[in-house]
Amino acid sequence: MLSRTADNLYWLARYVERAEYLARILDTTYRLTALPLAYVGASNEWESAVATAGCASAFFAAHSEANEETVTEFLAFSTSNPSSIRNCFETARVNARAVRTALTIEMWDTINSAWLELKKWGNGPRSREEFARFLRWVQESSLRFDGSAYRTMLRNDAYWFSRLGVFIERADNTARILDVKYHLLLPAHEKVGGPLDYFQWAAILRSVSALTSYHWVYRENVKPWLVADLLMLRDEMPRSLASCYENLVQNLDRIAHAYGRQGPAQRQARAVRARLQNSRIAEIFPTGLHEFIDDFVEDNNRLGTAIAQQYLL
């Protein structure tokens, strides 16, 4: 397959995944800011949302203050922020148009309809109710896209490259939540188990739709180290770093098998997976959480580069 086609499929999947992630961040931020201050502390949740979205410097170049209005506009509807939800869909569709022939009609239909529908939202919803509906719609669009890929694509390199995009992006997003919120997870912060932490942790879990899963996995109250464990090392949790790498290794292996050749990307993915498999949360948690996440983000970027060099350029 053309390298450019693979590249477009990869980025198409990444942008759709990113749009969903942004919608989740905004959704949880709304919930947190709706709580009385005593439950969540005095931190600026809107600022934290911008940091979690990974665009703090771009945001503060355009706005002096992070509040509901500025952050919502910037993360959801801005035309100048290349990673706003609007631009994610816009870029996803440009990529989709460029590889129409590699997409199934269902996938094209999903992404094209989402793009058409987005126009109806104009410069943004006028009320919180409308905005909530918008966020649900973004998540549903992403689910439809993912679902139609899963159900309709031939299992060949086109599918595998699009999966690589999903999991690289997802791993990056989960790591970013942990990176911004790690100070809350650390035991030194506040007194453990206080209401303030509880709602913050619940918000973290909710942003990766893991609040219910948490209880099924641990059958305990929300504890910071277990939150970290779930999001990083448990491979039964679909948005955990471990699960993302399980999938990355699998899909890279399928490509290598089909092409009859292994390369740096396969080795890099396996190395990261091994590291995740060999880590125990009790060892990382008290001292090395921040470092671990930092290293992971770097490793993940390195894998992105390796995939690009091996296949996409």
Partner 1 sequence: MFDEMRGSEGVVRPAYAELSHWLGEVPPDVLDFRRREAELFFRRIGITFAVYGDPEAQERLIPFDVIPRILSAAEWVILQRGLEQRVKAINAYLKDIYGRREILKAQIVPEDLVFQNPVFRPEMNGQKVPHDIYVHVAGIDIVRVDAENFYVLEDNARTPSGVSYMLENREIMLRLFPELFSRYRVAPVENYPDELLATLQSIAPPTASAEPTVVLLTPGVYNSAYYEHSFLADKLGVELVEGRDLTVKDDVVHMRTTEGFKRVDVIYRRIDDDFLDPLVFRPDSALGVPGLMSAYQAGNVTLANAVGTGIADDKAVYSYMPEIVRFYLGEEPLLKNVPTWRCRDSEHLSYVLDHIEDLVVKEVHGSGGYGMLIGPKADKATVAAFRAKLKSDPKNFIAQPTLALSTCPTCVEEGIAPRHVDLRPFVLSGRDRVRIVPGGLTRVALKKGSLVVNSSQGGGTKDTWVLDG
Chain residues that interact with partner 1, rule: CB under 8 A: 1-6, 94, 97-98, 100-101, 105, 108-109, 112-113, 116, 157, 161, 255, 259, 311-313
We find the least distance from the C-beta atom of residue 260 to partner 1, in angstroms, to be 9
We find the least distance from the C-beta atom of residue 300 to partner 1, in angstroms, to be 21
| Residue entry with tokens 């665009």 | 55
Instruction: Quote the CA–CA distance of 200 and 300 in Å, as a whole number.
Output: 26
**Residue 288, both tokens:** 């090395």
Q: If residue 274 lies in a helix (H) or strand (E), which one and from where to where? A: helix 264-278
CB 148 within 8 A of CB 168: no
Fill in the DSSP letter of residue 295. H
Question: Which CB sits closer to partner 1, 6 or 185?
Answer: 6
**Residue 283, both tokens:** 């060892």
Question: Which CB sits closer to partner 1, 35 or 256?
Answer: 256
We find the least distance from the C-beta atom of residue 113 to partner 1, in angstroms, to be 7
We find the least distance from the C-beta atom of residue 114 to partner 1, in angstroms, to be 12
Alpha-carbon distance values, 63 to 70, 110, 225, 249 (Å)? 7, 33, 35, 40
Fill in the DSSP letter of residue 204. H
Q: What angle do CA 154, 159, 163 make, to 5 degrees?
A: 145
We find the least distance from the C-beta atom of residue 99 to partner 1, in angstroms, to be 8
Question: Which CB sits closer to partner 1, 258 or 274?
Answer: 258
Question: Which CB sits closer to partner 1, 7 or 197?
Answer: 7
Question: Which CB sits closer to partner 1, 44 or 156?
Answer: 156
Question: Which CB sits closer to partner 1, 67 or 309?
Answer: 309
| Residue entry with tokens 């970027």 | 301
Other Cβ atoms closer than 10 A to 151:
10
Question: Which CB sits closer to partner 1, 3 or 301?
Answer: 3
Question: Which CB sits closer to partner 1, 192 or 258?
Answer: 258
We find the least distance from the C-beta atom of residue 250 to partner 1, in angstroms, to be 17
Fill in the DSSP letter of residue 210. -
CB 59 within 8 A of CB 50: yes
CA proximity to 232, closest of 187, 162, 297, 139:
297
Alpha-carbon distance values, 293 to 12, 89, 192 (Å)? 26, 28, 22
We find the least distance from the C-beta atom of residue 299 to partner 1, in angstroms, to be 23
Q: Crossing angle for the helix pair 45-52 and 3-34, nearest 10 degrees?
A: 170
We find the least distance from the C-beta atom of residue 6 to partner 1, in angstroms, to be 5
Type of residue numbered 174: T
We find the least distance from the C-beta atom of residue 78 to partner 1, in angstroms, to be 19
Question: Which CB sits closer to partner 1, 94 or 202?
Answer: 94
Fill in the DSSP letter of residue 184. H
Dihedral angle sign, alpha carbons of residues 7, 12, 13, 14: positive
